[in-house]
Structures are given as structure tokens and as C-alpha cells.
Amino acid sequence: MAYWLFKSEPDVFGWDDLVAKGDSGEEWDGIRNYQARNNMRLMALGDLGFFYHSRSGLEIVGIVEVCALSHPDSTTNDERWDCVDVRAVRSFKMPVSLDQIKKSPELSDMVLVKNSRLSVQPVTDAEWAKVCEMGQTKP
């Protein structure tokens, strides 16, 4: 199983919005970046991901699960763009801020730090464990 990180602006679609969608989850649509799309194409059912609030908030607030494999993005007719569906699994007890992540030597290689523009990105097993620990949340 692989780990990922999904970014969203809370003013547009935040963690609470995904939680409100319940177990059926929601399309992670609107991605118009090849690297992000390619990452979604690599995802398997049951893969887990962090949910990160960009622009405002700047913290990891929850864990999501991939509940539908990559499929055409329903918000466009452009067949280049695919997306997965995700559903909320659990909230972080303590959100983990970008600041904390930047200060943690173990997390200095996270894509979140190194390529802040990539909105769907891979997370290593070690990074996953560390962030969960910092957030006092079950991995």
C-alpha cells in the first residue's frame, strides 16, 4: 500500500466538506497538472493519503482513503484529465502544520517542502509514520 498527500484550499473545498460527503467520498477533480494526475493513476484502492489545507491553514488535518480508481474527471470533456475518489477516514487529533514539518529533520525531504506547487504527491512510509506521530493520530 502506498501513501499520498492531497492539497486543497479550505475556502474552496476543505476537510469538513469531505467529511460531510461520508463513506461514498468525493471525486478529487479539477487537477490539471500531469504530475499530479500521474500520481492519481498510480493509486490503488485502499491507499491512504494526508489531507492538507493550502493557502490558508497550512496544515495536515486528516487522513483519506482512495475509494475509486483513476477515472475520467467528470468536470471536463478533456480526456487528458483523470482523477480518483477519496473519502475521509479520520481527523488528526493535532493538525500538523507546515511549520512543524519544515522544522522536523526527518521530514526535510517531503515533497510538500521541496515542491510546494505539486497538489497530489507521494509520501514515504517513514514520512507517513512521523507525521501521524506528530499529529497523535493512528497511522
Partner DNA sequence: GCCAACGTTGGC
Binding site for DNA (CB under 7 A): 7, 9, 32-35, 54-56, 58, 98-99, 112, 115-119
Q: How far is the CB of 23 from DNA (least distance, A)?
A: 26
DSSP state of 119: S
Closer to DNA by CB, 39 or 54: give it.
54
Q: How far is the CB of 132 from DNA (least distance, A)?
A: 19
Amino acid, single-letter form, for residue 32: R
Closer to DNA by CB, 56 or 136: give it.
56
Closer to DNA by CB, 60 or 66: give it.
60
Q: How far apart are CA 46 and CA 103, in angstroms?
A: 30
Q: How, if at all, do strands 26-27 and 59-72 pair?
A: unpaired
Closer to DNA by CB, 35 or 124: give it.
35
Q: How far apart are CA 86 and CA 136, in angstroms?
A: 22
**If DSSP codes are grouped into helix, strand and coil, which group holds residue 104?**
coil
Q: How far is the CB of 19 from DNA (least distance, A)?
A: 20
Q: How far is the CB of 37 from DNA (least distance, A)?
A: 8
Q: How far apart are CA 124 and CA 114, in angstroms?
A: 14
Amino acid, single-letter form, for residue 33: N
DSSP state of 117: T
